[in-house]
A and B are shown apart, each in its own frame.
Chain A
Amino acid sequence: MDASAWIQAIANGFALGWMYVLIALGLTLILSIMGILQLAHGEVYMIGAYVTYFLCVSLGVNLYVSMALSMIVMAVFGIILEKFLFRPAQRQVLPPIVISLGLTLILMSFAVTTFGLKEKSIPRLAEGSLMFFDSAVPKDRIIAVGFAVALLILVYLFLKRTKYGQAMIASAQSPEGALLRGINPNRMSSLAMAIGCALAAAGGTLAGSILMLNPSMGTFPLMKGLVIIVLGGMGSLLGAAVGGIILGLIDGILPVAFEPGIASVAPFIIVIIILLVKPQGLFGHE
């Protein structure tokens, strides 16, 4: 295999990895603050992509404006979901699973009936390629990664530097400690869902502009997101970021280095090996 194929693979892996990180970060926030595994998060990503498609292609709004609006729409949607569906089921085991699986079906059917089964596409983020060591890397992937990284930095600064961000981290580390300092847990859950859903909408839009849109496009990223949070350490935000990049690179490089059969099971084998060595995940706490 030549150097240019490797560079392509790494570039693809990187782009994929950051999309996974956007999903995994939302899942992690929701899991660590609400104690809920949001299995319909992939469908939030899918609907986010369709909202951008609707605004941009059907109504003719600028692509970047559409993406920003889609993030806001999905954040509000997340707040509504939290208040009416997930809040009553918090800190229980079975109800959130049933609710989020039901939600998956509802959102998928909604997409099928509204937008149809035929694949749709969002315009590319940019045309053309840039050259890296004699190989062409499409500009739109570079922009997608740039967006994802910028969003993650924003989330990081919010969590680290603002009062409400700190309150969210605190709620994840000790729900009772947060209560006793006057932090309103419902507000923290709303925030977690709003941020998580906005990130998913951004991920769906970025992926949708590189690949295609269809009602089942959220299933695969959700699986990746789940693997990442286990890999990174349940509830660790840094773990979600590093885990996503590792998984993205594995996904990008393996198909180039090995035949497709091996490439499709290898990520899971690698993850299992990592977890055997470090059962609490890469950045897991306990």
Chain B
Amino acid sequence: MLFEIKNLVVHYEGAEVVKGISLEVDEGEVVTLIGSNGAGKTTTLRVISGLKSPTSGEIWFQGQRIDRQTPQSVVKVGIIHVPQSREIFPYMSVLENLRLGAFLRKDKDNVKKDLENLLENFPRLKQRSRQQAGTLSGGEQQILAIACALMANSKLLLLDEPSCGLSPIMVQEIGKIISDINRQRSTSILLIEQNVRLALKLAHRGYVLETGKIVLQGTAEELTRSEHIKKAYLGG
């Protein structure tokens, strides 16, 4: 197994917000974590990337325990987290942002090649490469955030609601980018989405998180057919 969470418990100011969840992501898989607002999805990602300490539980990546590590060491082992707020650097150029995505990489020549390839694949970013990142549209900023994550050449991507706040056309484009990344680079992805329809289209498997507990899990087809999902998340 590439990535595994075992019995993770997380507290915020005394309140238990993640109540002993376990989940797995295999090599080359897209796994989605579905759940309404406040279920604990973002908290789970923040614990994985080392931004927040868990109360108990274990996180394993490629046979190595990675819970309670600094964010730097999590990036180093090959996990990149793109938060919902995107956290690009608004007053730096698109190009500077992309270069910083490769901050920990030592293979300078490959970084240069990767950057060129990436710009070919993302013409929107190439057009605006000298522009300040903060002047991009919301959708372009999301694409930039994902592209920066790709520059790290990581094995597992953690995406927190990438389609949030975007126009329907942009949502389509982001969806295509995510599935391309998975197919072409065989990067594994743990995807959080409010847009459950999109999430189930992109994912191989999924987990449903409700108030800190996993209440349902299965393949994307199983979840799409589930009465519970239809009622609670697909509006009918």
Which residues of A pack against B, CB within 8 Å? 163, 166-167, 169-170, 173-174, 176-177, 179-184, 285
Q: From the candidates B70, B75, B88, name the one contacting A177 in the complex (CB within 8 A).
A: B88
The reply to whether B83 and A180 contact each other, CB–CB distance below 8 Å, is yes
Determine whether B104 belongs to the interface, using a CB cutoff of 8 Å to chain A: yes
Do the beta carbons of B148 and A173 come within 8 Å of each other?
A: no
Interface centre among A169, A174, A184, by most chain B C-beta atoms within 10 angstroms, is A174
Q: How far is the CB of B102 from chain A (nearest CB, A)?
A: 9
Between A and B, 24 residue pairs with Cβ closer than 8 Å are: A166-B92, A166-B96, A166-B100, A167-B103, A169-B91, A170-B89, A170-B92, A174-B88, A176-B85, A177-B86, A177-B87, A180-B49, A180-B71, A180-B75, A180-B80, A180-B81, A181-B100, A181-B152, A182-B71, A182-B103, A182-B104, A182-B152, A184-B70, A184-B72
Query: Would you call B68 an interface residue if the criterion is a C-beta within 8 Å of the partner chain's C-beta atoms?
Result: no
Contact residue among A174, A179, A182 (Cβ-Cβ distance under 8 Å from B89): A174
Q: Which of A163, A176, A285 contacts B103 (CB 8 A)?
A: A163
Q: Determine if B51 and A167 form an interchain contact, defined as CB atoms under 8 angstroms apart.
A: no
Please, which residues of chain B bring their CB within 8 A of the CB of A176? 51, 83, 85, 87
- B76 beta carbon closer than 8 Å to chain A: yes
A-B pairs, 6 with minimum CB distance: A177-B87, A182-B75, A182-B104, A173-B89, A179-B71, A182-B72
Flag whether B40 is at the interface (Cβ < 8 A): no
Q: B87 contacts A166, CB within 8 Å?
A: no
Given contacts A166-B96, A176-B51, A176-B83, A181 and B101 within 8 Å (CB-CB): yes
Q: How far is the CA of A179 from the CA of B81 in the complex (A)?
A: 10
User: Are A183 and B51 touching (Cβ within 8 A)?
Assistant: no
Contacts of A179 in B (CB 8 A): 51, 71-72
Query: Which residue from A166, A177, A180, A285 sits with its C-beta under 8 Å from B99?
Result: A166
Q: Which of B86-126 contact A (CB under 8 A)?
A: 86-92, 96, 99-101, 103-104
- The interface on chain B, measured as residues whose beta carbon lies within 8 A of the other chain's beta carbons, has a size of 27
B72 neighbours in A (Cβ, 8 Å):
179, 182-184
Q: Is the CB of A183 within 8 A of B90?
A: no
Chain A residues whose CB sits within 8 angstroms of the CB of B148 once the complex forms: 181
Give bound CA distance, A176 to B100, whole Å: 13
In this complex, what residue of B is CB-closest to A163?
B103
Distance from B129 Cβ to chain A, minimum over Cβ atoms (Å): 15
Interface residues of chain B: helix, strand, loop or mixed (majority): loop
Chain B residue numbers with a CB within 8 Å of A285 are 90-91
Instruction: Considering the complex, give the chain A residue whose CB is closest to the CB of B49.
Output: A180
Report B72 CB to chain A, min CB distance, Å: 5
Residues of B within 8 A of A182 (CB): 71-72, 75-76, 103-104, 152
Q: Are A181 and B49 in contact (CB under 8 A)?
A: no
Q: Are B51 and A170 in contact (CB under 8 A)?
A: no
CA distance A285 to B87 in the complex (A): 16
Cα A177 to Cα B149 in complex, Å, equals 11
Q: Are A173 and B91 in contact (CB under 8 A)?
A: yes
A162: shortest Cβ distance to chain B, in Å? Answer: 11
Kindly list chain A residues whose C-beta atoms are within 8 Å of the C-beta of B91. 169, 173, 285
Give complex CA distance A261, B91 in Å.
41
Smallest Cβ distance from B187 to chain A, in angstroms?
Answer: 16
Chain B residues in 8 Å Cβ range of A174: 87-90
Among B49, B80, B91, residue most surrounded by chain A Cβ atoms (within 10 Å): B91
Other than A174-B87, A177-B87, give 5 A-B pairs with Cβ distance below 8 A.
A166-B92, A174-B88, A177-B88, A179-B71, A180-B49
- A184 to B69 alpha-carbon distance, docked (Å): 13
Contacts of A183 in B (CB 8 A): 72, 100, 103
List the A side residues contacting B82 at CB < 8 Å.
Answer: 180
A87 to chain B, nearest CB (A): 14
A169 touches B92 (CB 8 A): yes
Give the residues in chain A near B90, CB-CB below 8 Å: 173-174, 285
Tell me the complex Cα distance, A166–B100, Å: 8
Residues of B within 8 Å of A181, CB to CB, are 75, 100-101, 103-104, 148, 152
Q: Is the CB of B75 within 8 A of A170?
A: no
Q: How far apart are the CA atoms of A183 and B76 in the complex, in Å?
A: 11
A170, B102: Cα distance in complex, Å: 13
Q: Which residues of B contact A170 (CB under 8 A)?
A: 89, 92, 100
B85: shortest Cβ distance to chain A, in Å?
Answer: 8
Alpha-carbon distance A173/B81, docked complex (angstroms): 18
- B43-88 residues with Cβ-Cβ distance < 8 A to A are 49, 51, 70-72, 75-76, 80-83, 85-88
The CA-CA distance from A194 to B90 in the complex, in Å, is: 26
Q: Are B76 and A180 in contact (CB under 8 A)?
A: no
Distance, CA A179 to CA B73, complexed state (A): 10
Q: Within 8 Å CB of B104, what residues of A? A: 181-182
Which residue among A166, A177, A182 has the maximum number of chain B CB atoms within 10 Å of its CB? A182
- A170, A176, A180, A183 — which one has the most chain B CB atoms within 10 A of its CB? A180
